[in-house]
Structure 1
């Protein structure tokens, strides 16, 4: 027990700072991935053949290659074409590109779940396309896509551990640094796992609260 308190006093603040870094990366990645996702689904459903091809290629390539390789391409590969990014920015960009492809498919599935007859009826009532999207389509799509978007956000949070390979001091790299000094891998990998578990649980609870709130006002 004394050893536990000593570890908390010695390493607790470092784990807290690493957790904050993980949260910043996760929030930034989620926001950017939604931008990429909307762009990709818009391209994939475009009437312009070139845009459709670009959207399909992006989703096909990202979903068919490992996230770790994508991180390496952005961080180690981009400098070869003159693009130099910090580990934090490169990590966020790589994870957002990865997540964006999955977000695009989630949004596309949500849009397909809305009966076309609803939009046709609204149009017949004189509603503009913007009003139809804002008042009819988006509220329903949000309810449909919230659970899979939550799962994708949780995957994004866990994927932040990949950024330890490009020197981002997240929970994983901080735990590895402690282990290299103390030679106690079991304790500190378990500690890292518990922190990730806490963060993913909080994210799940937030999603459940949003679902309940949406159901109350629908």
Structure 2
């Protein structure tokens, strides 16, 4: 007889809803912070001024070269000695700053992929560099970045499980706690896995829908 009883999954499935909401909350804030800071980093990274480009390069190198869990612990325990910060804000900040390094490279590639002739055309019309960037380059760059940003969002959703290291009651922590109290750890972890699969599948469907709309838009323009 198996020591696992997966027939209990329906009995506990709905109790994971609050933990799932917390997972979504951590993911959303992590991505929002990542997009804002990532765009700033991308613009710094492509700047002709070394005083801007070098710090951006160093930041991206450090964040991409160290584990997210380490960054989360450094922010949580390090900032406590400087400012009073709770576990939830520290998780938002750590995930946001981590995502920013990857999103910065996504934006950088998208921006640099815009034909130089479009920038020159804007400048020839009397637009400033800032206006060319805001009105011509960035709108196209955002559109090109959508597939990669969608992938980063799914990665961020799964990375949110590391927030359990600072006692954030997200899916993985709740599954472990409930598994310990019911002596059904494998079953509870299976429920968490189902929730992750549902959420990542929904995000994938939404991302594919957005990409199709953008492709249709581009096709109509070309016609």
* In 2, Cα distance between equivalents of 1:13 and 1:125: 59
Structure 2 equivalent of residue 97 of structure 1 = 97
Structure 2 equivalent of residue 199 of structure 1 = 199
Structure 2 equivalent of residue 65 of structure 1 = 66
Judge conservation of contact 1:14–1:174 (CA < 8 Å) in 2: no
* In 2, Cα distance between equivalents of 1:101 and 1:18: 27
Q: State the shift of 1:85 in Å.
A: 1.3
Q: State the shift of 1:51 in Å.
A: 2.0
Q: Give matches, 1:77-96, under 5 Å.
A: 77-80=78-81, 82-96=82-96
Q: Which moved more, 1:101-110 or 1:121-130?
A: 121-130
* In 2, Cα distance between equivalents of 1:5 and 1:64: 43
Structure 1 equivalent of residue 32 of structure 2 = 31
* In 1, Cα distance between equivalents of 2:193 and 2:8: 19
Secondary structure at the residue paired with 2:84? Answer: coil
* In 1, Cα distance between equivalents of 2:52 and 2:141: 23
Q: State the shift of 1:42 in Å.
A: 2.0
Q: State the shift of 1:46 in Å.
A: 2.6
Q: State the shift of 1:135 in Å.
A: 4.2
Instruction: Name the structure, 1 or 2, with higher relative contact order (CA <8 Å, separation 6+).
Output: 2
* In 2, Cα distance between equivalents of 1:45 and 1:138: 13
Give the alignment's Cα RMSD to 1 decimal: 1.9
Structure 1 gap ranges (5+): none
* In 2, Cα distance between equivalents of 1:139 and 1:43: 18
Judge conservation of contact 1:44–1:52 (CA < 8 Å) in 2: yes
Change (3 A) 1:47 1:131: closer
Q: Give matches, 1:1-218, under 5 Å.
A: 7-9=9-11, 11-80=12-81, 82-129=82-129, 131-218=131-218
Runs of 4+ in structure 1 off by over 6 angstroms are none
Q: State the shift of 1:118 in Å.
A: 1.6
Change (3 A) 1:127 1:53: closer
Structure 2 gap ranges (5+): 219-223
* In 1, Cα distance between equivalents of 2:13 and 2:191: 10
Q: Which moved more, 1:200-209 or 1:135-144?
A: 135-144
Secondary structure at the residue paired with 2:159? Answer: helix
- Give the count of matched residue pairs: 214
* Post-superposition CA distance 1:78-135 (Å, at most 9, x none): 112x222111110010011110000000000001111101211232234454553344
* In 2, Cα distance between equivalents of 1:210 and 1:193: 26
In the superposition, the TM-score normalised over structure 1's length comes to: 0.90
* In 2, Cα distance between equivalents of 1:205 and 1:131: 34
